[in-house]
């Protein structure tokens, strides 16, 4: 029977939704026991959040002052130690999981499967390659631990347990492994607040190079605010300094699946498209009728964004 360990991701004392998405992925493996491990300085609150998720069998608290910040070099030996006895170890395909899980795999002497998008069987999965230009079906060996990352855009978040259902039991786990001191956390840029989070937002408005300046990019922010949407950007817009790096959508930015995605002045390079393939409705506004973004757009509007955006803002109203 599958015994799955999920490494929880959290920030600012809250569980990242990516964790609940990993639970959904794991739950697609029939009859799986699903344990969630929370590594933190103080994991009580986080563990309670994880224990409230439907599908979770057990929550493990691994508390240590060294776990205050998510440093892969510090976490990996602990995850590897905890992983013994499990058949699968999953982490989210976020920068946290991508940094950590291969290090865990190597410590265990096993390979890693990146970006699970479909579960076909406990040992057979589908994942995208070549920026999503191809999807491969891959089979992992049954005789060793499978370390994998879960493509979060492919799974919905596991819901809360039903009212009346007891939370999953929470246990303290102690792992006795030596932790390295060669890697130290220094600082993290303050999170941009006030707007919905790009990775979980149901609506996203993204701007590209065509915006032309950081000042003009405010038009994207204004439209997003009107729609209650998160803001995204193409690589070109980020490189040009119109938007910060954490707003980049695409192969090397965030892979997202909002209900509504509005691409403004974005050409639709394959590396960008791979980040939005799972969006419900894609709207494209571009002055070039031949722009590749129109090949994937559900609704396309050809025209100059500098005349369209003010009109659109007005039409949407307050």
Ligand X SMILES: Cc1cc2nc3c(=O)[nH]c(=O)nc-3n(C[C@H](O)[C@H](O)[C@H](O)COP(=O)(O)OP(=O)(O)OC[C@H]3O[C@@H](n4cnc5c(N)ncnc54)[C@H](O)[C@@H]3O)c2cc1C
Site for another protein in 243-272 (CB under 8 A): 244-246, 251-252, 254, 259-260, 270-271
Which residue in 49, 35, 43 sits closest to 65, CA to CA?
43
User: Residue 308, Cβ neighbours under 10 Å: how many?
Assistant: 18
Q: How far is the CB of 20 from another protein (least distance, A)?
A: 16
315 binds another protein (CB under 8 A): yes
Q: How far is the CB of 203 from another protein (least distance, A)?
A: 8
Give the interface with ligand X as residue ranges (CB under 6 A): 208-210, 234-237, 248-253, 265-267, 269, 271-272, 286-288, 291, 304-306
Contacting another protein (CB under 8 A), which of 2, 48, 68, 106? 106
Phi, psi of 95 (to 5 degrees): -60, -30
Rank residues 157 and 301 by Cβ distance to another protein and give the closer one.
Answer: 301
164 Rama class: left (phi>0) / alpha (psi -120 to 50) / beta:
left
State the binding partner of 66 from ligand X, another protein, none, CB within 5 to 8 A by kind. Answer: none
CA distance 237 to 86: 43
84 binds another protein (CB under 8 A): no
How many chain residues interact with another protein (CB under 8 A)? 86
Q: Is the CB of residue 39 less than 8 Å from the CB of residue 67?
A: yes
Owner of token pair 């493996």: 29
Rank residues 34 and 236 by Cβ distance to ligand X and give the closer one.
Answer: 236
Rank residues 108 and 153 by Cβ distance to ligand X and give the closer one.
Answer: 153
DSSP conformation letters of 198-223 = TTT-SEEEEE-GGG-SHHHHHHHHHH
């Amino acid at each position: 029977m599958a015994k799955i360990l999920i490494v929880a991701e959290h920030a600012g004392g809250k569980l990242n939704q990516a964790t609940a998405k990993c639970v959904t992925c794991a739950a697609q493996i029939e009859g799986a026991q699903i344990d969630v491990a929370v590594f933190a300085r103080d994991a009580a609150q986080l563990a309670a959040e994880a224990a409230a998720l439907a599908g979770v069998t057990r929550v493990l608290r691994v508390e240590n002052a060294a776990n205050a910040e998510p440093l892969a070099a510090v976490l990996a030996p602990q995850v590897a130690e905890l992983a013994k006895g499990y058949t699968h170890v999953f982490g989210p395909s976020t920068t946290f999981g991508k940094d950590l899980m291969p290090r865990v795999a190597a410590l265990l002497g096993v390979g890693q499967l990146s970006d699970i998008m479909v579960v076909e069987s406990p040992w057979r999965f589908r994942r995208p390659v070549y920026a999503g230009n191809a999807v491969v079906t891959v089979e992992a060996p049954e005789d060793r631990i499978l370390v994998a990352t879960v493509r979060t855009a492919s799974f919905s978040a596991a819901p809360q347990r039903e009212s009346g259902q007891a939370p999953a039991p929470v246990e303290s786990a102690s792992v006795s492994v030596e932790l390295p001191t060669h890697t130290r956390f220094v600082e993290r840029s303050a999170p941009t607040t006030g707007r919905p989070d790009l990775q979980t937002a149901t609506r996203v408005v993204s701007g590209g190079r065509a915006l032309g300046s950081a000042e003009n990019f405010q038009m994207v922010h204004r439209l997003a605010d009107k729609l209650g949407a998160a803001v995204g950007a193409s690589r070109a817009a980020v490189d040009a300094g119109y938007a910060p790096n954490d707003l980049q959508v695409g192969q090397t930015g965030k892979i997202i699946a909002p209900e509504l995605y509005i691409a403004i002045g974005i050409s639709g390079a394959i590396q960008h498209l791979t980040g939005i393939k799972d969006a419900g409705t894609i709207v494209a506004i571009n002055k070039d009728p031949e722009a590749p973004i129109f090949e994937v757009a559900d609704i396309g509007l050809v025209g100059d964004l500098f005349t369209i955006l003010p009109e659109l803002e007005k039409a949407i109203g307050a």
